[in-house]
Amino acid sequence: MKKYLIIICIIALFATGCQTSTPTASDPAPEQPGYSPAPPEVLADLTKDEYDGLEFSVNVLERNAILPGMSFLATVAVENKGDESLYYTQGSGSFTTPESLFVFSDSLQTVIPKDHLGIVTMDFVTNELKPGDSLLFKFPVMAIKPNPDFSIYTFELFNEEKYIADMEWSDLQDIYSDLNAAAPGSYTIKAYFLYNIAKIENEVSNAFEGPTGYAEAECVISIS
Protein backbone atom coordinates (compact mmCIF):
# COMPACT_ATOMS: atom_id res chain seq x y z
CA MET A 1 0.00 0.00 0.00
CA LYS A 2 2.84 2.36 0.87
CA LYS A 3 4.37 1.71 -2.54
CA TYR A 4 1.19 2.84 -4.32
CA LEU A 5 0.92 5.94 -2.11
CA ILE A 6 4.47 6.92 -3.01
CA ILE A 7 3.75 6.48 -6.71
CA ILE A 8 0.58 8.60 -6.41
CA CYS A 9 2.50 11.32 -4.57
CA ILE A 10 5.23 11.37 -7.26
CA ILE A 11 2.60 11.63 -10.01
CA ALA A 12 0.88 14.48 -8.15
CA LEU A 13 4.21 16.27 -7.67
CA PHE A 14 4.98 16.14 -11.39
CA ALA A 15 1.45 17.19 -12.28
CA THR A 16 1.60 20.29 -10.10
CA GLY A 17 5.12 21.05 -11.28
CA CYS A 18 4.21 21.15 -14.95
CA GLN A 19 2.73 24.63 -14.77
CA THR A 20 2.82 27.77 -12.72
CA SER A 21 -0.08 30.03 -11.86
CA THR A 22 -0.37 33.65 -12.86
CA PRO A 23 1.52 35.95 -10.42
CA THR A 24 -0.57 38.25 -8.26
CA ALA A 25 0.11 41.74 -6.98
CA SER A 26 1.89 40.30 -3.92
CA ASP A 27 4.33 38.31 -6.06
CA PRO A 28 7.65 39.88 -7.10
CA ALA A 29 7.90 41.25 -10.60
CA PRO A 30 9.24 38.65 -13.04
CA GLU A 31 12.89 38.92 -14.00
CA GLN A 32 12.88 38.56 -17.78
CA PRO A 33 15.36 39.94 -20.29
CA GLY A 34 14.31 43.37 -21.47
CA TYR A 35 12.11 44.11 -18.45
CA SER A 36 14.21 43.39 -15.37
CA PRO A 37 17.16 43.50 -15.09
CA ALA A 38 18.19 46.15 -17.61
CA PRO A 39 20.25 45.16 -20.69
CA PRO A 40 23.65 46.18 -19.24
CA GLU A 41 23.22 43.36 -16.69
CA VAL A 42 21.73 40.89 -19.15
CA LEU A 43 24.54 41.52 -21.64
CA ALA A 44 27.38 41.20 -19.15
CA ASP A 45 30.10 38.83 -20.39
CA LEU A 46 28.43 38.48 -23.82
CA THR A 47 30.22 39.44 -27.03
CA LYS A 48 28.48 41.92 -29.31
CA ASP A 49 28.25 40.70 -32.92
CA GLU A 50 30.09 37.48 -32.08
CA TYR A 51 28.44 36.04 -35.20
CA ASP A 52 28.68 38.27 -38.27
CA GLY A 53 26.12 36.36 -40.32
CA LEU A 54 23.06 37.93 -38.70
CA GLU A 55 20.84 40.58 -40.23
CA PHE A 56 19.02 42.21 -37.32
CA SER A 57 16.66 45.20 -37.24
CA VAL A 58 13.94 46.95 -35.25
CA ASN A 59 11.42 49.32 -36.81
CA VAL A 60 8.23 51.12 -35.85
CA LEU A 61 5.81 51.49 -38.73
CA GLU A 62 3.96 54.65 -37.80
CA ARG A 63 0.72 54.77 -39.78
CA ASN A 64 -0.71 57.25 -37.31
CA ALA A 65 0.92 59.74 -34.98
CA ILE A 66 2.10 58.33 -31.65
CA LEU A 67 0.62 60.40 -28.85
CA PRO A 68 1.72 60.52 -25.19
CA GLY A 69 0.36 57.49 -23.32
CA MET A 70 -0.38 55.48 -26.46
CA SER A 71 0.91 51.98 -27.17
CA PHE A 72 2.59 51.04 -30.45
CA LEU A 73 4.41 48.04 -31.93
CA ALA A 74 8.14 47.63 -32.52
CA THR A 75 8.80 45.04 -35.24
CA VAL A 76 11.99 43.02 -34.72
CA ALA A 77 13.42 40.92 -37.55
CA VAL A 78 16.25 38.37 -37.37
CA GLU A 79 17.70 36.52 -40.35
CA ASN A 80 20.61 34.11 -40.38
CA LYS A 81 22.51 34.91 -43.57
CA GLY A 82 25.69 33.15 -42.49
CA ASP A 83 26.92 29.56 -42.66
CA GLU A 84 26.55 28.60 -38.99
CA SER A 85 23.54 27.58 -36.90
CA LEU A 86 22.71 29.53 -33.74
CA TYR A 87 21.05 28.37 -30.53
CA TYR A 88 18.72 30.73 -28.68
CA THR A 89 16.51 30.43 -25.62
CA GLN A 90 12.80 30.11 -26.26
CA GLY A 91 12.05 29.64 -22.55
CA SER A 92 8.78 27.95 -21.71
CA GLY A 93 7.44 25.71 -24.44
CA SER A 94 4.19 27.64 -24.22
CA PHE A 95 5.89 30.91 -25.20
CA THR A 96 5.51 32.22 -28.72
CA THR A 97 7.99 35.07 -28.21
CA PRO A 98 11.54 33.84 -27.42
CA GLU A 99 13.05 34.99 -24.13
CA SER A 100 16.30 35.73 -25.94
CA LEU A 101 14.66 38.35 -28.19
CA PHE A 102 13.48 41.58 -26.59
CA VAL A 103 13.24 45.37 -26.84
CA PHE A 104 14.36 48.00 -24.36
CA SER A 105 14.19 51.74 -23.89
CA ASP A 106 15.51 53.76 -20.99
CA SER A 107 12.91 56.47 -21.63
CA LEU A 108 9.79 54.54 -22.75
CA GLN A 109 7.94 51.64 -21.16
CA THR A 110 8.33 48.23 -22.78
CA VAL A 111 5.60 45.66 -22.15
CA ILE A 112 5.84 41.96 -21.30
CA PRO A 113 4.60 40.00 -24.34
CA LYS A 114 1.08 38.70 -23.84
CA ASP A 115 2.15 35.09 -24.36
CA HIS A 116 4.51 35.38 -21.35
CA LEU A 117 1.59 36.09 -19.01
CA GLY A 118 -0.85 33.71 -17.38
CA ILE A 119 -0.22 30.00 -16.91
CA VAL A 120 2.89 28.71 -18.66
CA THR A 121 4.52 25.29 -18.83
CA MET A 122 7.74 24.81 -16.86
CA ASP A 123 9.70 23.05 -19.61
CA PHE A 124 12.82 24.77 -20.94
CA VAL A 125 13.19 25.03 -24.72
CA THR A 126 16.26 25.96 -26.76
CA ASN A 127 15.73 26.52 -30.48
CA GLU A 128 18.09 26.47 -33.44
CA LEU A 129 18.29 29.22 -36.04
CA LYS A 130 19.75 27.51 -39.08
CA PRO A 131 21.33 29.29 -42.07
CA GLY A 132 18.51 30.85 -44.07
CA ASP A 133 16.06 30.83 -41.13
CA SER A 134 14.43 34.03 -39.90
CA LEU A 135 12.33 35.33 -37.00
CA LEU A 136 9.80 38.17 -36.95
CA PHE A 137 8.06 39.42 -33.81
CA LYS A 138 6.17 42.54 -32.77
CA PHE A 139 6.71 43.96 -29.31
CA PRO A 140 4.34 46.44 -27.65
CA VAL A 141 5.87 49.63 -26.28
CA MET A 142 4.01 52.42 -24.50
CA ALA A 143 4.62 56.16 -24.78
CA ILE A 144 4.86 56.49 -21.02
CA LYS A 145 7.82 56.92 -18.70
CA PRO A 146 9.31 53.67 -17.33
CA ASN A 147 7.77 52.69 -13.99
CA PRO A 148 9.33 50.14 -11.57
CA ASP A 149 5.88 48.68 -10.78
CA PHE A 150 4.76 48.32 -14.37
CA SER A 151 5.23 44.53 -14.46
CA ILE A 152 3.06 44.17 -11.35
CA TYR A 153 0.35 46.32 -12.94
CA THR A 154 0.59 44.21 -16.10
CA PHE A 155 -0.10 41.01 -14.15
CA GLU A 156 -2.87 42.63 -12.09
CA LEU A 157 -4.75 43.67 -15.19
CA PHE A 158 -4.12 40.34 -16.90
CA ASN A 159 -5.77 38.63 -13.93
CA GLU A 160 -8.80 40.77 -14.80
CA GLU A 161 -8.56 39.58 -18.44
CA LYS A 162 -7.10 42.88 -19.65
CA TYR A 163 -3.83 43.40 -21.50
CA ILE A 164 -2.22 46.64 -20.42
CA ALA A 165 -1.00 47.56 -23.92
CA ASP A 166 -4.55 47.37 -25.27
CA MET A 167 -5.99 49.85 -22.78
CA GLU A 168 -6.82 53.49 -23.40
CA TRP A 169 -4.39 55.85 -21.71
CA SER A 170 -7.17 57.69 -19.85
CA ASP A 171 -8.51 54.42 -18.39
CA LEU A 172 -5.05 53.25 -17.42
CA GLN A 173 -4.23 56.54 -15.71
CA ASP A 174 -7.46 56.36 -13.71
CA ILE A 175 -6.33 53.02 -12.28
CA TYR A 176 -2.62 53.78 -11.81
CA SER A 177 -2.12 57.47 -11.16
CA ASP A 178 1.65 57.04 -10.78
CA LEU A 179 2.02 56.29 -14.50
CA ASN A 180 3.16 59.33 -16.47
CA ALA A 181 2.94 59.94 -20.20
CA ALA A 182 6.14 60.60 -22.11
CA ALA A 183 6.60 64.15 -23.34
CA PRO A 184 6.53 64.87 -27.09
CA GLY A 185 9.90 64.39 -28.71
CA SER A 186 12.26 61.80 -30.20
CA TYR A 187 13.00 58.50 -28.44
CA THR A 188 15.32 55.58 -29.09
CA ILE A 189 14.18 51.96 -28.91
CA LYS A 190 16.73 49.16 -28.92
CA ALA A 191 16.30 45.48 -29.71
CA TYR A 192 18.51 42.59 -28.63
CA PHE A 193 18.97 38.99 -29.70
CA LEU A 194 21.02 36.67 -27.46
CA TYR A 195 22.54 33.51 -28.92
CA ASN A 196 25.41 31.08 -29.05
CA ILE A 197 27.03 29.60 -32.13
CA ALA A 198 26.09 25.93 -32.46
CA LYS A 199 28.97 23.55 -31.78
CA ILE A 200 29.33 19.83 -31.20
CA GLU A 201 32.30 18.78 -29.09
CA ASN A 202 32.89 15.15 -28.15
CA GLU A 203 29.42 14.37 -29.50
CA VAL A 204 27.88 16.83 -26.99
CA SER A 205 25.96 19.92 -28.16
CA ASN A 206 26.43 23.30 -26.47
CA ALA A 207 22.72 24.14 -26.98
CA PHE A 208 22.02 24.47 -23.26
CA GLU A 209 25.12 26.41 -22.25
CA GLY A 210 23.39 29.78 -22.58
CA PRO A 211 24.19 32.74 -24.81
CA THR A 212 27.72 33.88 -25.54
CA GLY A 213 26.97 36.65 -28.02
CA TYR A 214 24.30 39.19 -28.92
CA ALA A 215 23.07 41.40 -31.73
CA GLU A 216 21.80 44.95 -31.16
CA ALA A 217 19.68 47.23 -33.32
CA GLU A 218 17.91 50.52 -32.70
CA CYS A 219 15.41 52.92 -34.19
CA VAL A 220 14.23 56.43 -33.35
CA ILE A 221 10.53 57.25 -33.05
CA SER A 222 8.68 60.53 -32.59
CA ILE A 223 5.95 61.22 -30.05
CA SER A 224 3.69 64.07 -31.10
Higher confidence at residue 29 or residue 164? 164
Contact 68, 183 (CB under 8 A): yes
Question: pLDDT of 105-116, one tens digit each?
Answer: 999 999 999 999
Bridge partners for 142 per DSSP: 71, 109
Question: pLDDT of 17-66, one tens digit each?
Answer: 333 333 444 444 444 433 444 577 889 999 999 999 999 999 998 777 99
Taking all residues of the chain, what is their mean pLDDT, rounded to a whole number?
84
Higher confidence at residue 6 or residue 43? 43
Question: pLDDT of 117-145, one tens digit each?
Answer: 988 888 889 999 999 999 999 999 999 99
User: Distance between CA atoms of 87 and 198, rounded to whole angstroms?
Assistant: 6
Domains and CATH numbers, the chain: 20-223 (2.60.40.10)
Task: Give the pTM.
Answer: 0.81
DSSP codes of every residue in 94-145: T-SS-TTEEEE-SSSEE---GGGSS-EE---EEEEE-TT-EEEEEEEEESB-
